[in-house]
Amino acid sequence: MQNAPSDPATPKALAKRNAKVAIFCAVGLAFMVGAAYASVPLYRAFCQLTGFDGSIRKAEVAPSKVLDKTLQIRFDANVRDLPWSFKPSQVTQEVKIGATGLAFYKVTNNGKTPITGRASYNVVPEQAGAYFQKLECFCFNDQTIQPGQTVEFPVVYFVDPEYATDFETKGKGEVTLSYTFFPVDSQQADASKAASPLGDATKAGL
């Protein structure tokens, strides 16, 4: 029995199929890389929206209800890879649940060049993240500080009255608000300042 003659089109078909597989692999790889980069801001946005992992939520207005129950708010400050001095202007505050509080953080650039930093934040205990909300915060923009300059940033916040009814938080009388400043590369900083000029501490007049 004679073997069937080989199909001259087979090598071309295999080449096309291999090319398609390579394209699909490249597209899949690009998608996975893009998803990995996107996951960080998406996760951060999710945490800010829900208060998950101790992230603080941003609010538009303060609650109309103020409880006759107080919380001790502690303030913490940290710096990562920046020649900055960063500390809260107050160690603690006592505020009523639902009332608006005002705190300040002070930053000094000890370096010899202007440096742009960005503050990340969270609260402890983590369960308080859903109820500790900010009306104003320096963490929403990149901050550029000149060499030797000291800037004091305000934080306007409140604790939602539902804090007092949630079984995970109602017995906790102390919340710690913690910020960490870390560097922002120049390309990111330029893009951020172009989108939001108030992100520059000097321009904001803070």
State phi, psi for 178 to the nearest 5 degrees: -125, 135
Q: pLDDT tens digit string along 12-63?
A: 555 666 665 556 555 555 544 444 333 334 434 444 444 344 345 566 788 8
What pTM, to 2 d.p., does this model score?
A: 0.65
Specify which residues 118 forms β-bridges with: 182
Q: What 3-state class would DSSP assign to 107? A: strand
Q: pLDDT tens across 52-68, in order?
A: 443 455 667 888 899 99
**Bridge-partner residues for 109, per DSSP?**
84
